[in-house]
Structure 1
Amino acid sequence: MNRRQFIGNAALAASLLPFAGVAGTVEAAPRRRLLPVALDKGDRVGLVSPSSASDDSFSLQLAREAMEALGFEVKTGAHFAGRRGYLAGSDAERADDLNTMFADKTVKAIVCTRGGSGGARLLPLLDYETIRRNPKTLLGYSDITALHSAIHAKTGLVTFHGQIGSGSWNAFNVDQFQRVFFKRELMEYRNKIELGDELVPRRNRTITITGGKARGELVGGNLTVLAALAGSPFLPDFGGKILFLEDVGEAPYRIDRMLSTLKLMGALDKIAGFIFGECTDCKPGDGYGSLTLEQILDDYIKPLQIPAYRGAMIGHIREQFIVPVGGQVELDADTGSFRLLEPVFQS
């Protein structure tokens, strides 16, 4: 089964969820914002594999070493290194690891070793009451968008879209981590610009779609995963929110289709601002021609007449922001930046 076949199956499964008896179910009404406990060096961090299995044991070793190098004691999920086909164990095993880590009072944060596919399969199995009673950091991106969306929708907990455990912990990402979690800064997210030997900078440039400023709560993540949750109770309310999106390996016509899904479900018409990160390896395939990503964003976002820009350092890239899903931010589309307005940890 390839990635796109999986997403299609996940979307079908999500559409059936309201009719299924599920463990840990809570009412679908939006929750007030819930802040995680603060994180410090020396704390215990849980490593879990809620989506795809890792390619080899070395990547799991690297995830552990990275967390230890950041100053943490590490606890791994019971099925951290599991495999069932392309998944890191059965749905019940992977969900149990997450539920156990949230219930464990000694664990202060949960870091996902990787993304891939399969996170949406866990959403009916998560114990949202336990998560609400034990608010703690959840970090990951890509397929982990399913967990961010569902947990925020069901509990109001602020979670963090950013580097996975087995990803690149380069100087930029480490600095992001330390500023967000240890220093607990009210972050300003402005792209790192490098001139290099160019007369004018080219890398990491942002482009304004519609100028202006907007304030609201951040929601979003991977576009493919969000679109696959359409029709399920595991999406947060988009009303008045700042929506951020990214993706990887999707042809422009697929980006068009998924934005059309968000438009048809009414999500785009509700948002107050829009940030598009990177769409890595999103080139047109063979065929009769293609719209550009710029044209597609202009078709869907410009008519909204809300502050919007593209090119933020969010997505499947080596250096990436760590952003709080559920955090209150101010977006400035003219400068291509956004900033936190309130703390995202308990005081």
Structure 2
Amino acid sequence: MAPHFIRPPRLLSGSRVAALSLSSGFVTEVMGRYHAGVRQVAAEFGWEVVPAPNALRGPDYLDANPQARADDLQWALQNPDIHGMVSIIGGDDSVRLLPFLDLELIRAHPKAFLGYSDATVTLTQFLRAGVMAYHGPALLTDLAENGGMHPFVVEGVRRALVDEPQPFDLAPAPEWTQARMDWADEGAQAVRRPFHPGDGWVWLQGERAAEGHLMGGCLEVLDMLNGTPGWPGPELWHGAVLALETSNDVPPPHQVGYWLRNYAGQGILAGAAGLLLARARDYTGEMVGELYGWVRRVLREAGREDLPVVANVDFGHTSPQLTLPLGGRVRLDPAAGRVTVFP
């Protein structure tokens, strides 16, 4: 049987959303960027963003106190005046929160949690608790985008978190960027980043349509989680459509292949329904070709040449990015070139 996930209540205009520093406390070094994100979220969605008690205590304190970060999540879950949560920024160590997270509390107080990158750890714990979670922009990234939030991001957040639930088709971004800006330069906040024209998706393999619940996140973070008590059991992986992306650490294509071989060894690929592969940040054209070769190679080794795979999808560490409802169902139709989400 397919696993069941509770859908958190929608975040409507007037909702209060807690800003959480579950990973890095870097935000205190770029407070102008933080306030830009708060303003833009209020303007686009009508949400009031409020910092959790420890969220703005700085990188040194939060690095030394992972329990304080977990306490913020649990404060937001239990606080009746908080309706949802957003990750401020990623990092590399939220796996340290695992001993302090309470899955029963997550399930007892299902609220929308939005984030990506190192937030993959927390997103995955929501799924383990049987609650949908949302792989999408963080407060300091696409929500505080230079020159205003991108319409592609606004549409993605609205369809996943704001609108009345109904099926919708994903689409390639009309343009994309990985250009870096100095977030400490408040004068540059109004300057739009340079964008490349959109180049669409790439269907790597598969001919027949398939459907399953969304699982996944950042591959590097999933690798840190793998083998810990926070790793999902086989029953959660079975029948899943995997949504996998790489970070600005730029893991080489062969490393992605090795991680996928681990998934094959666990039986995850054997039971998967499909694969969404994100646009890889800072990859050259040659690296992209190698990546696609490794994906096909590992799936062939696993006997899954039938698995529908669509690559170059806009989620993760390039902008603008989609918001994916993890735990929600998705249908991949290679013949029609469609990916339909059932939130």
Q: Sort the TM-score into its range (normalised by shorter chain).
A: 0.7 to 0.9
Distance 1:39 1:60 in 2: 20
Match of 1:71 in 2: 46
RMSD of Structure 2 on Structure 1 (CA): 2.5
Note if contact 2:77-2:105 (Cα within 8 Å) is conserved in structure 1. Answer: yes
Length-normalised TM-score, structure 1: 0.80
Q: Kindly, what percent of the aligned residue pairs are identical? A: 27
Instruction: Looking at secondary structure, tell me which structure has more helix per residue.
Output: 2
Distance 1:330 1:290 in 2: 25
Note if contact 1:46-1:110 (Cα within 8 Å) is conserved in structure 2. Answer: yes
Match 1:56 to one of 10, 25, 30: 30
Note if contact 1:252-1:283 (Cα within 8 Å) is conserved in structure 2. Answer: no
Secondary structure of residue in 1 paired with 2:83:
strand
Gaps spanning 5+ residues in structure 1: where? 1-29, 195-200
Match 1:190 to one of 171, 175, 180: 171
Note if contact 2:25-2:63 (Cα within 8 Å) is conserved in structure 1. Answer: yes
Distance 1:84 1:112 in 2: 15
Q: State the Cα distance separating 1:56 from its structure 2 match.
A: 2.2
Note if contact 2:24-2:91 (Cα within 8 Å) is conserved in structure 1. Answer: yes
After superposition, give the CA deviation of every residue in 1:112-166 in whole Å (9 maximum; x if it has no partner): 111121221112211222211111100001111111112211x110000001111
Length-normalised TM-score, structure 2: 0.81
Note if contact 2:10-2:163 (Cα within 8 Å) is conserved in structure 1. Answer: no
Note if contact 1:84-1:90 (Cα within 8 Å) is conserved in structure 2. Answer: no
Distance 2:61 2:244 in 1: 25
After superposition, give the CA deviation of every residue in 1:279-315 in whole Å (9 maximum; x if it has no partner): 1124599xxx998111101112244122222111112
Note if contact 2:238-2:271 (Cα within 8 Å) is conserved in structure 1. Answer: yes
Residue 101 (structure 2) pairs with residue 147 (structure 1): no
Q: State the Cα distance separating 1:87 from its structure 2 match.
A: 5.1
Distance 2:309 2:315 in 1: 15
Match of 2:269 in 1: 268
After superposition, give the CA deviation of every residue in 1:316-341 in whole Å (9 maximum; x if it has no partner): 11111101000012112344432123
Match of 2:131 in 1: 157
Q: State the Cα distance separating 1:238 from its structure 2 match.
A: 0.9
Q: State the Cα distance separating 1:210 from its structure 2 match.
A: 2.1
Residue 18 (structure 2) pairs with residue 38 (structure 1): no
Match of 1:242 in 2: 241
Q: State the Cα distance separating 1:83 from its structure 2 match.
A: 2.9
In structure 2, the CA distance between the partners of 1:31 and 1:256, relative to structure 1 (3 Å rule), is closer
Note if contact 1:208-1:336 (Cα within 8 Å) is conserved in structure 2. Answer: no
Distance 1:212 1:92 in 2: 46
Q: State the Cα distance separating 1:63 from its structure 2 match.
A: 2.7
Gaps spanning 5+ residues in structure 2: where? 143-148, 176-196
Match 2:160 to one of 167, 172, 180: 180
Note if contact 2:214-2:243 (Cα within 8 Å) is conserved in structure 1. Answer: yes
Note if contact 1:141-1:222 (Cα within 8 Å) is conserved in structure 2. Answer: yes
